[in-house]
Amino acid sequence: MRKSIFAGLLILIVSMATAQTPDIHKIRSYREQHENSWISQYLSFLSIPNIASVPSDMQLNSGRIMDLMKERSVQNIQLLYPDTKNAPPAVYGEMMVPGAKQTIIFYAHYDGQPVDSTKWAKGLHPFKPVIINGPLQEQNEFIVFSNTVKINPEWRIAGRGSSDDKAGVMAILLAYEAMKACGLTPIYNIKFFFEGEEEAGSTHLNEILQKYESLLQSDLWIICDGPVHQSGKKMVSFGVRGDAGMELTVYGSKRPLHSGHYGNWAPNPALQLSKLLASMKDDDGKVLVKGFYDKVKPLTLTEKKALAAVPSVDTQLKEELGFIQAETKDQSLVNSIMLPSININGMQSAGTGKLASNVIPTTATANLDLRLVPGTDYIEQQQLIEAHIRRQGFYITHEDPTSDERKQYAKITKVTLSKGYNAQRTQMELPIAQKVIAAVRSTTKDQVVLLPSMGGSLPLFLFEKYLSAKTITVPIANHDNNQHAENENLRIQNFWSGIETMAALMLMK
């Protein structure tokens, strides 16, 4: 008993000694004096529409970011254009520190997911940002914002990009402002890189990285994107899953048939597709495609330890999401996402509801999403699934089947492959990774969640491929931010904490 009290005290003293350094207190009190001005600047930035496919909007956004940088005396501000015309530029700026031997680049993206403003809750609009009095409910109170209103950190800013990922851009620039205003100097050179095409698949990022290779040399990229852990604790993530798509269409008769006259006799593509999909996973969520897990790179001891320390949010999440059993029955969420997966994103075959009719459908289609982990290659995984489909007795075509093919094969699937990319992971054991962990820990008394890989996918492999660069993701947004959907929002406390996190990373030892 005494021993455990002593141990507890020791842990407390150690964590108090490491958490919330004097620098962070300086950053915090500077922020407290500037909250209203910062929120007002942020609301104004969010009111610029940011869909990557609209060049004029992207011009306004990149111009605004350059202004925000100029106001903070960032050096060497410039737009990095890819060679492809009309593609949005990345916005670049830097702070070169005399005597610094290493460089950190801070990454965030200023474009957002496409929007349908009619789906947003009453009073909300993607590009008319507002402040609401807490998490989104049936009825929210709207805050009348002014330069004198006392800001409650539980309030939320609602608008497209508020969390994903203009929050990253703004938190990084405000952290920089606070750091300089407080007279704090980093020991690393600091560079900023704000992408304008992430939600559109980073199609031209490779061009930018290659064209500006020498400008973008660094020892580490800090990727500020995505939500913190569902427990609300700060998080550092060392990798992302890869992603690739596949669409399967199974064929029945050439024309729809009356289900009374022909049911039981004519082949039913909806049933065939269901059986095919069901053959890919067992009842515990394990993929049954031969070889699917063979090349998975095993987790290191450090990674396993980090995973074991992740607070479990499974019960809370099941409650929040309304189901009682996970697909991978005995596996936690965090362990499940360390494995490659096949997900069904959508299925279609004839009609249901008002469109239901008594027919045997002519086709059935499923859209599959493959998530990759280190060691697995997306093309190989797609090939393994194709081999599995063949083993189930299907003939595979990549076009609609011809009459000859229909005469020759009983079961036909058209497979449409989409391009994807592989997973990426930075080793947690690297000295620079350990410094990142220490920096984030210096901002909080709470545990910092360390994840070998996040569930989501980002094309981080590009940084490794073109710049041989290391990447570590440090997200700041709340997990219930409606990212990519209507009513996207950012909890203001996450914004404040995120600014402290970014400042600590700039001041990393």
Minimum gap (Å) between residue 68 Cβ and Zn ion: 19
Strand order in the sheet with 341-348: 341-348, 363-372, 242-251, 412-417, 395-397
Minimum gap (Å) between residue 481 Cβ and Zn ion: 10
| 303: its two tokens | 């990674």
**β-strand pairing of 235-237 with 156-158:** unpaired
Instruction: Return d(Cα 457, Cα 451) in angstroms, integer.
Output: 14
Nearer to Zn ion, 94 or 225 (CB): 225
Minimum gap (Å) between residue 332 Cβ and Zn ion: 25
Nearer to Zn ion, 23 or 164 (CB): 164
| 177: its two tokens | 């402002």
Nearer to Zn ion, 57 or 165 (CB): 165
| 223: its two tokens | 């990727």
| 69: its two tokens | 């940088």
Nearer to Zn ion, 111 or 303 (CB): 111
Minimum gap (Å) between residue 111 Cβ and Zn ion: 9
Minimum gap (Å) between residue 52 Cβ and Zn ion: 12
User: Can you give the binding site for Zn ion, defined by CB under 5 A?
Assistant: 164-165, 225
Nearer to Zn ion, 123 or 201 (CB): 201
Instruction: Return d(Cα 439, Cα 420) in angstroms, integer.
Output: 33
CA-nearest of 503, 428, 414 to 473 is 428
Largest CA distance in the chain: 84
Nearer to Zn ion, 52 or 69 (CB): 52
Minimum gap (Å) between residue 27 Cβ and Zn ion: 24
Nearer to Zn ion, 165 or 386 (CB): 165
Minimum gap (Å) between residue 373 Cβ and Zn ion: 20
Backbone φ and ψ for 107, nearest 5 degrees, come out as -115, 135
CA-nearest of 248, 259, 262 to 411 is 248
CB-count exposure of residue 406 (10 Å: 0-12, 13-18, 19+)? middle
